[in-house]
């Protein structure tokens, strides 16, 4: 008997789109299953294994039967390990009650929006944006208000740009530094200016620092958790161990914010997921409090790959790419190729995948048409092959 149709879906689902990065991953997988040789620069995750000492901590936790519910906010050990890492890295003292451990950075972000956004509220999101931000705003009944940045300024976000879009309905500003997909980094002084603006207007700023440790050249990691104490009641940081420690599958992230807000978020989380996975929490304590040289080594590798990939992209006719200052993505303009055979970056990416077997993510998914995102969390061999194929594809367009 045929399955009866779903009669009524919740209104909020009308506003929500499938993640376009997931769509690329699915298309690349389909081609691979058909036996095609695909170079996948679509995925947004480290290609390194989780370091051994972190995996060992998880094995010990299993053997010690650390397999029950934990407090909803995460174990005291993990919350303290997060606080200690911020103290050691940035000299900022944040209390255990200002921290909650979450199921990845995604839950950290979702929780904050559930706690702060009412239906009809406007939420400022800078573009290019990580695909999930506007979707989470929509799911919470809010209205994403996009603040575009441009390639000419290196995708720079300023307090003045945000101020222009603030209205009496704005309840939250969402920032992401280092940025996925542009690689732009908001300087510490600009971050403070933005937080001052928010404090003046009595609205919150959520800063997604999922790529906090992956910064290049002379840059050193910084955090909005260390803004001056008088601003902290308006500032919320979402962090993640996924990229920093190559732990995407373990699903551990965290939020740092004012104690009263965190207390409310703990209540939400208690109903949503109870707590993050207990074994993964034990691994996360080890990641944060154990040796950190693995973090620097992975960062060094990303920089070497960036230093190969970005000049190589700029050497392909009609492509241009600003140098990412952090994260592990190159966001390259293909606008000069969008007036002939392709109208959109989605067409471009689809044809590139079909004809040349290179998976990249179209800029439209990040709210910025005319670009493609290439992940350099991939081996040098994969990057070289992608450049060769992309170059041949583009040269084919010009003949």
Residue number of the CB closest to ligand PLP reads 104
- Taking residue 327's Cβ as centre, other Cβ atoms within 10 Å add up to 31
Q: Is 306 in the site for ligand PLP (CB under 6 A)?
A: no
Nearest to 263 by CA among 86, 100, 104: 100
* 40 near ligand PLP, judged by CB under 6 A: no
- 242 is an interface residue for ligand PLP by CB under 6 A: yes
Residue 104 C-beta: closest distance to ligand PLP, Å: 3
| Of the residues 23, 106, 305, 306, which one makes contact with ligand PLP according to CB under 6 A | 106
Quick check: 328 binds ligand PLP (CB under 6 A)? Answer: no
Helices in 140-292 by DSSP H: which ranges? 159-165, 188-201, 259-272, 278-289
Q: Which is nearer to ligand PLP, 57 or 377 (CB)?
A: 377
Task: Give the whole-angstrom CA distance, residue 262 versus residue 274.
Answer: 15
* Minimum distance, C-beta of residue 202 to ligand PLP, in the bound complex (Å): 26
Inter-residue contact 324 to 7 (CB < 8 Å): no
Question: Residues 151-190 vs ligand PLP: string with x where CB under 6 A?
Answer: -------------------------x---x----------
Subset of 202-221 contacting ligand PLP (CB under 6 A): 208, 210
| Site track for ligand PLP across 49-88, x = CB under 6 A | ----------------------------------------
For position 130 contacting ligand PLP by CB under 6 A, the verdict is yes
Cα-based torsion angle of the residue sequence 127, 367, 209, 322 in order, rounded to the nearest 10 degrees: -70
275 makes contact with ligand PLP (CB under 6 A) = no
Is residue 276 classed as helix, strand or coil in its secondary structure?
A: coil
Stretch that binds ligand PLP, among 99-107, 142-150, 312-320, 375-383 (CB under 6 A): 99-107
Measured CA to CA, the distance from residue 260 to residue 344 in angstroms comes to 45
Among 74, 142, 221, 253, binds ligand PLP (CB under 6 A): 253
Tell me if 289 contacts ligand PLP by CB under 6 A.
Answer: no
11: number of Cβ within 10 Å: 8
DSSP letter string, 360-399: -EEGGGGT-TTEEEEE--S-HHHHHHHHHHHHHHHHHHH-
User: To the nearest whole angstrom, how small is the minimum distance from the Cβ of residue 108 to ligand PLP?
Assistant: 7
CA distance 79 to 72: 11
Region from 103-111, 120-128, 137-145, 261-269 binding ligand PLP, contact rule CB under 6 A: 103-111
> Where is 320: in which H helix or E strand?
strand 320-321
Residue 24's nearest CA partner among 352, 325, 380 is 352
Query: Considering only 47-55, 100-108, 154-162, 220-228, which stretch makes contact with ligand PLP by CB under 6 A?
Result: 100-108
What six digits make up the tokens of 141?
A: 């009944």
Q: Which two tokens mark 333? A: 């303009």
User: Binding residues for ligand PLP, per CB under 6 A?
Assistant: 44, 104-106, 130, 176, 180, 208, 210, 240, 242, 248, 253
């Amino acid at each position: 008997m045929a399955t009866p149709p779903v009669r009524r879906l919740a209104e909020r689902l009308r506003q929500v789109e499938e993640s376009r990065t997931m769509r690329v991953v699915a298309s690349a997988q389909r081609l691979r299953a058909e036996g095609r040789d695909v170079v996948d620069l679509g995925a947004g995750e480290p290609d390194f294994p989780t370091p051994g000492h972190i995996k060992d901590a998880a094995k010990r936790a299993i053997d010690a039967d650390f397999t029950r519910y934990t407090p909803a906010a995460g174990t005291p050990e993990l919350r303290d390990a997060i606080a200690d890492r911020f103290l050691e890295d940035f000299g900022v003292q944040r209390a255990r009650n200002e921290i909650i451990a979450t199921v990845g950075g995604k839950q950290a972000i979702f929780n904050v929006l559930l706690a702060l956004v009412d239906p009809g509220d406007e939420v400022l999101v800078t573009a290019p944006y990580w695909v999930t931000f506007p979707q989470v705003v929509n799911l919470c009944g809010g209205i994403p208000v996009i603040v575009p940045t441009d390639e000419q300024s290196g995708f720079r976000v300023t307090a003045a740009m945000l101020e222009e879009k603030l209205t009496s309905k704005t309840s939250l500003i969402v920032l992401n530094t280092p940025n996925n997909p542009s690689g732009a980094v908001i300087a510490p002084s600009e971050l403070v200016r933005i937080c001052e603006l928010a404090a003046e207007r009595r609205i919150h700023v959520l800063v997604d620092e999922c790529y906090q440790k992956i910064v290049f050249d002379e840059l050193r990691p910084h955090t909005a958790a260390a803004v001056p104490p008088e601003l902290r009641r308006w500032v919320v940081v979402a962090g993640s161990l996924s990229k920093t420690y190559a732990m995407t599958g373990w699903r551990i992230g965290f939020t740092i914010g004012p104690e009263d807000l965190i207390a409310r978020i703990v209540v939400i989380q208690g109903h949503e997921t109870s707590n993050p996975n207990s074994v993964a929490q034990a691994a996360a304590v080890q990641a944060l409090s154990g040796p950190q040289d693995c973090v620097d080594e992975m960062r060094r590798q990303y920089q070497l790959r960036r230093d190969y990939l970005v000049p190589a992209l700029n050497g392909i006719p009609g492509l241009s790419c600003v140098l990412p200052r952090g994260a592990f993505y190159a966001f390259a303009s293909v606008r000069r190729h969008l007036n002939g055979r392709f109208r959109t970056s989605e067409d471009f990416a689809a044809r590139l995948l079909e004809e040349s077997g290179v998976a990249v993510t179209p800029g439209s998914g990040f709210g910025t048409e005319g670009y493609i995102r290439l992940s350099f969390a991939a081996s040098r061999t994969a990057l070289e092959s992608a450049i060769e194929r992309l170059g041949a594809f583009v040269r084919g367009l010009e003949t």
